[in-house]
Amino acid sequence: MSKRAFLIEFLIGLCASAACGNALVQTDDAPVTAVQAETAGPAQVVEPGGEYPRPPKPSRQYTIGIVLPHLSNPHFVGQAYGYIDEAHELGAKVALLEAGGYQHLDRQISQIEDLVADKVDAIILVAVSGPGTVGAVALAVSAGIPVINCNVMTDSDQVVTRVRSDDEEIGRTQADFMGQALKGRGNVVMLRGAPGTSWAENRGNAFKKRLSARFPNVTVVGEQYSQSTPADGLRLMEDFMQTYAQIDGVYNGADTTAIGAAQAILASGKTGRIVVATTDFQQDTEKFMRAGVIAAAVVQQTVVIGRWGVRAAINYLEKRPVAGTLWTPLLLVSRDSVDRLDMRGVRAPEGWKPPTR
C-alpha cells in the first residue's frame, strides 16, 4: 500500500514538472520505477516490470488461454507481446484469442467456453464487459481453471488476481495536468472510450471528480463514449468543435481517440490552443506529441501488464501465493520527457505482429 502512496506522490511531482516543462523530478523516497531508473545512470538498468519479478521456470509446460477484446490497436498488440514473450520465457503454451471488438461479448463468452472445453491450465481474461463476463468466469472456475483478470475488469469476484493500471490514478493525473495547463480556468470535452468498460468509467469519473475538487473553474462541457478508434475520435472532436465555441482541453480515455482528436485540431488550425491529454502512447500519439498537438500522456505499461499476467498465472499454478491486485506502474510523459521514456514496457518491438488466431 505504501508503495502506491509513493507512486502517487512521485506522479504528482512529475505532473508539476511536466506542466512547467522541466526535467524529471527525482526524489529519494520514490520507488524504483522504470522512469526513474532510466535517469539514475547507465549501471542501473531495471527491466520494466521488475517490481513483480519473473518466477523460476516451472517444471512442466502449462497452457494458458488468453482472451482479449481486440487486436486492432497498439495497446493490445503490446500487451499480446507481453503475454507471448513471457510465456515463451516460462516455457508455457499460449492460445491467444480476440473478440473482434468490445461489442462482441457473446464471442468472448464463446471463446472462454471453448478454452474450458480445451482444458487449458489457466485463463487470462481482459473483459469485454464487466457484468457480462461473470457467468463465463464462474464456468471456468467450476471446471477448476483459475482466471486471472488483466487490464479491463470483470465484475466477477471469483478471479484469482487482477493485474491492472490504477484507472482512478490515470483520471486524476490527467485532471491535474489539465487543470494546471489551463491555469485553473477553461472548457474541457471528454472522449471517454468504450461504453460499459471498467477503464472508460473509472478513468473518466476520476477525472471529473478531481477537476471539481481541485479546479472548479475548469468545466466539462461535453462528453461522449465511442469505440477506441481514431475515426471515432476525429468525428466526435469535429462535432464538439462545431457545438462549442470555446474548447480549451480534451481528455482521452484511450489514445486512439486522441489521435483522431489531434487530426481534427490540426485540420482546424487550433494546434496549441487546445490542450490534449491522453492515456497510453502508441507511435502516432508520440508523433503528435512531438508535433506539439498532444500535450501529455499518462502511459500504461501494457507490455508489463502482459508479463505480470503470465507471471501471476504461473505463480498460482505452482501454488505460490498471489496478491489480490497487482498494480502496474504508470508513466507520465510530455514533450520534454519523450526521449527518456523506456519503451520496453510500453510497446511491442518494432515490426512484431501477433499470431492471427
* Chain residues in the site for other proteins (CB under 8 A): 95, 98, 100, 102-106, 109-111, 113-114, 116-119, 129-132, 134-135, 139, 143, 155, 195-196, 225, 356-357
Closest separation between CB of residue 160 and other proteins, Å? 21
CA distance 42 to 26: 16
| Amino acid of residue 178 | M
Closest separation between CB of residue 228 and other proteins, Å? 14
User: Measured from the CB atom, is 72 or 268 closer to other proteins?
Assistant: 72
User: Measured from the CB atom, is 161 or 224 closer to other proteins?
Assistant: 224
User: Measured from the CB atom, is 111 or 337 closer to other proteins?
Assistant: 111
User: Measured from the CB atom, is 89 or 118 closer to other proteins?
Assistant: 118
User: Measured from the CB atom, is 37 or 141 closer to other proteins?
Assistant: 141
Closest separation between CB of residue 132 and other proteins, Å? 4
User: Measured from the CB atom, is 37 or 139 closer to other proteins?
Assistant: 139
Closest separation between CB of residue 189 and other proteins, Å? 17
Closest separation between CB of residue 59 and other proteins, Å? 24
Closest separation between CB of residue 34 and other proteins, Å? 34
What does the angle CA 207 – CA 334 – CA 189 come to, to the nearest 5 degrees? 35
Closest separation between CB of residue 96 and other proteins, Å? 10
Give the SS3 label for residue 242. helix
User: Measured from the CB atom, is 111 or 161 closer to other proteins?
Assistant: 111
